[in-house]
Amino acid sequence: MQFHKVRPKKVATIVAEQIIETIKDGSFPVGSKLPSEFELAEHMGVSRPTIREALSALTAVGLIESKPGSGNYVRNGTSLIDTIAREAVLVLENESSCIEIMEARGLFEPPVAGLAAKKRTVNDVEDLRSLHEKLGHLAKKGDFDPYFAMDKEIHLAIVAASHNTLVAGALIPLINTMEQKLYREFTQDYYFKNKLGLEDVAALHDELIQAIVDQDGELATQKMREHWERMQIAVSSR
């Protein structure tokens, strides 16, 4: 007899598995619309952000697709569904929870922005202004992937401007979770929803970076906090 290691599953994984089973049993064939996020949350007794995290994983692996203003539709119900489903579960289980990433960054990054405002150098200011200018151009183009990469570079530059190796050691791995497949899909679907969304978030960076340039630690802290509060509200809203 062989034994296997027992580990608890994330709630979002269990949600995804239930959705997968309804697709496999034919309840939702290819092209059909899934129940709304509100209905899924009510039926399963979980939060909307948890439903959204599960749906993002299923979208990332190509099992479903999200149509803005319409809902989520089954995209793939072929014989490959078991393989696709396993990939979705692996993404959810092996990558950090999007909700936990946002909570952690919302706690840690505001005071670091304040520290950066106090300790930034002339070179830091030049780097931040250059990155910010590039972010603005990318926001106007509405191209998510390069914008997302530049957004990450700005947050890393703010950490660098704090000139604290311990802070950098703690925050850089957290910011690097932006490279995870699930987090990218989640933020694209529920935060950077369209071109206007990119420009809105770029505008938040305007005030944040200016506060750092002006060495206004209190305002920099406030603007970074507003950035993360806005994101948490956006992904939790109905």
Query: Which amino acid is present at 72?
Result: N
Q: In which residue are the tokens 């931040």 written?
A: 128
Q: Please determine whether the domains at 11-94 and 98-236 fall in the same fold group of CATH.
A: no
Distances (CA, A) of 129 to 7, 71, 119, 135, 158: 46, 38, 16, 10, 11
Q: What is the pLDDT of residues 149-206, one digit of tens each?
A: 999 999 999 999 999 999 999 999 999 999 888 888 888 877 776 555 788 888 889 9
Q: What is the pLDDT of residues 86-138, one digit of tens each?
A: 888 888 888 888 888 999 999 999 999 999 999 999 999 999 999 999 999 99
Q: What is the pLDDT of residues 47-93, one digit of tens each?
A: 888 998 999 889 888 889 888 778 899 987 666 778 888 888 888 88
Name the fold adopted by 11-94: Arc Repressor Mutant, subunit A (1.10.10)
CATH class of 98-236: mainly alpha
Residue 5 CB partners (closer than 8 Å, separation 6+) = none
- Any idea where the domains of the chain sit in the sequence? 11-94, 98-236
**71, containing H or E segment:** strand 71-74
* pTM of the predicted model as reported, rounded to 2 decimal places: 0.80
Q: What is the pLDDT of residues 188-203, one digit of tens each?
A: 877 776 555 788 888 8
**CB 133, CB 103: distance < 8 Å:** no
